[in-house]
Structure 1
Amino acid sequence: MAISGTDPSSVRVDSWTWAVRLFKTRSAAAAACRSGHVRVNGSTAKPAQPVKTGDEVRIRAAGVERIVEVIRPITKRVGAVVAVECYTDNTPPPPPREVLASIPQRDRGAGRPTKRERRDMDRLRGL
């Protein structure tokens, strides 16, 4: 399926990530690039960095890293069905719930750990 006028050889990374619906807005995509949450082929990307077919884009958002490979560079935002055809998602599956449940977490609002608690945590981690 050809999309008229939206299949150049390379496009801006912020525009492409927005066009394939990895970010809700283009300004959010640009902000993520400026913050260092977007990497293209292993290096931190500025919003205007070009991406082309075959590039690997890593996006860290909401504590999850997504790894996608560019199949088709597009500039205009498209529907979700067409957007999925423009990249290959190589993101590893999330860890099982049992592993996540075994990781200790502090109660919300418990404040900063005390010195004794920090030493206990370091001892647990083997530091």
Structure 2
Amino acid sequence: MEHYTIATVAEKSPDFRRVLWTGKHTQLVVMTIPPGGEIGEEVHEVDQILTFVSGVGEARVSGETRKVVAGDLVVVPAGRTHNFTNEGPNPLVLYTVYGPPEHADGAVHKTKDEADRLEEAGKDEPPTS
């Protein structure tokens, strides 16, 4: 059994992205977006559910924009353009579930730049089985 006090785990992670658990059909990831930062506009071939733990941000999904705060949840269906930005003075902290997995099992990316470099180099691929 995997068990997390997820808000606490997410709050304690200083990393831009940290994969906590990877299963056959889903993946659990925590993210910390610094003030003024963003995830970056992207499109996944997988579904994504994001739950915000702390901070204030903006969600943009398929051209629709909404403010996000602690306790909010946003669903991003596969194939939709999306981005999340930190609009506050404190980190925007969240956890997200991908279905199926989107990142390498156990991946830890300290910064967005590191995450982008590894993705571009093909070193952040999800497990194939």
TM over 0.5: no
Larger fraction in helix: 1
What TM-score do the two structures reach when normalised by structure 2? 0.29
What TM-score do the two structures reach when normalised by structure 1? 0.29
**Structure ranking higher on relative contact order (CA contacts 8 Å, 6+ apart):** 2
Larger fraction in strand: 2
